[in-house]
Amino acid sequence: MVTISYVAAYTFFFLALVAFLFMKKHKRKPQENLKLPPGSMGWPYIGETLQLYSKDPNIFFASKQKRYGEIFKTHLLGCPCVMLASPEAARFVLVTQAHLFKPTYPRSKERMIGPWALFFHGGGYHLRLRKLVQGSLGPDDLRGLIPDVEAIVITMLDAWNGRVLSTFHAMKKFSFDVAILTFFGDRLSERHKVELKKNYFIVDKGYNSFPTNFPGTPYYKAIQARKQLSRILSEIMNERRERGVVGNDDLLGCLMDSKDEKGARLTDDQIADNIIGVLFAAQDTTASVLTWIVKYLHDHPKLLEAVKGEQMAFLEANKSCGNRPLTWTQTRSMTLTHRVIMESLRMASIISFTFREAVADVEYKGYLIPKGWKVMPLFRNIHHNPEFFPNPHEFEPSRFKVAPKPNTYMPFGNGNHACPGNELAKLEMLVLIHNLVTKYRWEIVGTCSEIEYSPFPVPKHGLPVKLWRLSTNAENN
């Protein structure tokens, strides 16, 4: 056993030495008078990936910032990286010098979503697709969706009544149903809804699995389901064309109807990749934030009562008008509830960072960011910096009575690649909170102090919650 251990040890160090010499030989020569940011690169090739995944990622990034400052280097997932934890640096990468940093994703994830998704592109194609998506998910189009979104909320909560469910899983189904409504309107057959949901959740399950493309693995199953999604979407588009009713009052119709300056339309592959891409962007992130909102309101009873008081005023006003649904004007007037959402987005920081890649050697504050290196603005570090948010680990919605300093609050990212569906996400949160606090009470089952990552942070086990509908008299009190 000792001999085997020595052989294994010598083999490991020999391979590490070969990798080190190879990297040293091919190392780029830094620009004159510029040095790389401080930091540790860890083991050859492996870098500090094991350290990142063996602890809370937030602790990993926070400890790095504490040791090295607001710009530091590391090596993760086989890539040299520069981490940036200041508002100025985030703006530099995402806004003022965005042309020097391209969006980048692991190849396995790009394959899963589709290479034509707007997230993987820049330039004219990205701007065109972003405008189309943002136009379909903007305030003008969302106004008319409120009754339908509220109907989905009511159906979900009624089914939850008296049961223990994972909040995160319930919210994933809710956000999926809202996305289907927004993307396809009321034109989608029940058969297509069932097929889309079935295959999408297979893709979703395999999206963050190890990319081993062998039969039986989650990744393989996800790739097969992704092919099915393309087939289903192609079938839906062909049916619309055959009926001569493409329409442009939902996202699919807008993409199908769009022409560029030369009159060329998007291909079916381009449309499918963008539908699936926006669906991915809209679902887990929104579901994660909604899960945290349920937890934060539960943990702060006085705040919950204040939010309930604000929402009861809207409920009573609508009852006096013949039980009408929420209106767009009302959702814009939920001052305290808006602050709760903003603070939940800050505290949870679902999008902890974003990936970019330097397309040229870049100088920033006397440091070199070499071409090809990954660059990661750390939103969570900025959101939890006491310089910008005093007592950052305390849930205090009142802090948003005053607008945060520029570039310190970026829950939906920043620049041209910021989330184009943020208005839809906020509408889902407002409608859910309104119906939840005015008509139900809930209790968390078990402990909820631990966090899991899937890949976004959520309370352990998705926050199991038991829900009870309030009596009619309780609703009116």
Positions at the binding site: 419
**Residues placed in the known binding site for heme:** 419
Q: Scanning the structure block, which residue is given the tokens 């297509």?
A: 192
DSSP string, 218-251: HHHHHHHHHHHHHHHHHHHHHHHHHHT---SSSH
What is the rounded CA–CA span in Å between residue 382 and residue 344? 15
* Residue 21, helix vs strand vs coil: helix
d(CA 327, CA 321): 12
Spatial contact of 363 and 380, defined as CB atoms under 8 Å apart = no
- Kindly give, in sequence order, each residue whose CB lies less than 8 Å from that of residue 216, ignoring residues fewer than 6 positions away: none
CB 34 within 8 A of CB 366: yes
Contact 175, 283 (CB under 8 A): yes
Residue type, 159: A
Nearest to 383 by CA among 348, 418, 358: 348
In whole angstroms, what is the distance from residue 252 CA to residue 220 CA?
Answer: 27
| CA distance linking residue 211 with residue 222, whole number of Å | 10
SS3 of 391, please? Answer: coil
The region, left, alpha or beta by phi > 0 then psi within -120 to 50, assigned to residue 113 is: alpha
SS3 content of the chain, % helix, strand, coil (to 5): 60, 10, 30
Using the CB atoms, write b or e for 100-118: b if 16+ within 10 Å.
bbbbbeeebebbbbbebbb
